[in-house]
């Protein structure tokens, strides 16, 4: 069910979103070659708890038998890993790695959700272009996140922008509504037809999240049951913010 938030609820939700943005601000300073993905995870959890929040992804159920709940504060996905990478003491971040991080914070009964992709250490034009296109795809999409438009308008804008730049979007996973629950209606695909889907109304809060691959649009799930990778081993990137639909242009809640 789609929930329309009151002004009081939005103010509560903004605090979870503020903490989410704060974590990324600090991660950008902290991330470097030689640290582990578990180092990142512990670092993020400390900031969240110091600010009175709860890492919402930690213990999140898989929904599948025999696959344990997600163990980390962060999803940390490297290079060909698209989403849901599990933090590990054994996974060392190397110079040149493309590291996508997804984080959800819970506070005051509401969630804030955002994702960022970092190029650690030395970069190159190919990696930087991928990260830039993925981020810009989000902003292209939310140009249409206005009162009276439909979800499909956002989806179409994202997919069209990514594909005209020679990349592919992940079609098996999508953005979503967010609020008291981490995942609420509506689903927000990264491809679609304009004029289709739910009509947008002020008070809706949405997590819009392009997931982009340099190579072919095929994915695989690793044996851990969580990590999603590109089938051809090509690089991927992820960018996401929680936004609020208003009477005018959308408000991005997970940017400081």
Task: For residue range 125-135, list pLDDT tens digits in order.
Answer: 999 999 999 99
Domain that holds residue 138: 7-252
How far is 6 from 21, CA to CA, in rounded Å?
Answer: 22
| CATH number, domain with residue 142 | 3.90.230.10
> Is residue 1, in this structure, part of any structural domain at all?
no
> Is residue 206, in this structure, part of any structural domain at all?
yes
How far is 144 from 164, CA to CA, in rounded Å?
Answer: 18
Which two structure tokens, joined as six digits, stand for 150? Answer: 């439909």
How far is 197 from 68, CA to CA, in rounded Å?
Answer: 33
CA torsion sign, 201 to 202 to 203 to 206?
positive
42-96 per-position pLDDT tens digit = 999 999 999 999 999 999 998 888 899 999 999 999 999 999 999 999 999 999 9
Closest to 134 (Cα-Cα) out of 151, 121, 153, 115: 115
Confidence of residue 101 (pLDDT cuts 50, 70, 90): very high
CB 158 within 8 A of CB 143: no
> Is residue 89, in this structure, part of any structural domain at all?
yes
Compute how many other C-beta atoms are within 10 angstroms of the C-beta atom of residue 61.
9
Confidence of residue 148 (pLDDT cuts 50, 70, 90): very high
> Is residue 67, in this structure, part of any structural domain at all?
yes
Which two structure tokens, joined as six digits, stand for 98? Answer: 């493309």
188-233 per-position pLDDT tens digit = 999 999 999 999 999 999 999 999 999 999 999 999 999 999 999 9
Percent over 90 (pLDDT), the chain: 98
81-100 per-position pLDDT tens digit = 999 999 999 999 999 999 99
> Is residue 150, in this structure, part of any structural domain at all?
yes
Confidence of residue 140 (pLDDT cuts 50, 70, 90): very high
Which two structure tokens, joined as six digits, stand for 124? Answer: 């190159």
DSSP letter (8 states) at residue 5: P
Closest to 17 (Cα-Cα) out of 215, 191, 182: 182
Domain count, the chain: 1
Which two structure tokens, joined as six digits, stand for 138? Answer: 């989000």
How far is 1 from 184, CA to CA, in rounded Å?
Answer: 7
How far is 198 from 185, CA to CA, in rounded Å?
Answer: 10
How far is 60 from 69, CA to CA, in rounded Å?
Answer: 5
> Is residue 2, in this structure, part of any structural domain at all?
no
39-51 burial, b if ≥16 CB within 10 A, otherwise e? bbbebbbebbeeb
SS3 125: helix
Compute how many other C-beta atoms are within 10 angstroms of the C-beta atom of residue 127.
19
> Is residue 126, in this structure, part of any structural domain at all?
yes
This model's pTM is above 0.75: yes
């Amino acid at each position: 069910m789609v929930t329309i938030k009151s002004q009081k609820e939005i103010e509560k939700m903004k605090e979870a979103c503020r903490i989410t943005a704060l974590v990324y601000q600090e991660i950008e300073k902290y991330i470097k070659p030689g640290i582990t993905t578990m180092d990142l995870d512990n670092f993020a959890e400390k900031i969240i708890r110091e600010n009175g929040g709860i890492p919402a992804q930690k213990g999140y159920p898989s929904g599948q038998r025999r696959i344990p709940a997600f163990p980390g504060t962060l999803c940390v996905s490297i290079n060909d890993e698209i989403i849901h990478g599990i933090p590990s003491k054994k996974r060392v971040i190397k110079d040149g790695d493309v590291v996508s991080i997804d984080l959800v914070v819970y506070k005051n009964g509401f969630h804030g959700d955002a994702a960022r992709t970092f190029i650690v250490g030395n970069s190159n034009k190919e990696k930087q272009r991928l990260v830039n296109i993925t981020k810009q795809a989000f902003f292209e999409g939310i140009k249409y996140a206005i009162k009276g438009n439909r979800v499909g308008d956002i989806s179409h804008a994202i997919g069209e922008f990514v594909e005209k730049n020679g990349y592919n979007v992940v079609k098996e996973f999508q953005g979503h509504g967010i609020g008291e629950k981490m995942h609420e209606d509506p689903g927000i695909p990264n491809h679609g037809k304009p004029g289709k889907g739910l009509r947008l109304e002020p008070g809706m809060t949405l997590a819009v999240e392009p997931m982009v691959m340099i190579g072919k649009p095929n994915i695989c799930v690793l044996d851990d049951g969580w990590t999603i990778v590109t089938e051809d081993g090509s690089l991927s990137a992820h960018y996401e913010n929680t936004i609020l639909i208003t009477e005018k242009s959308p408000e991005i809640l997970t940017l400081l």
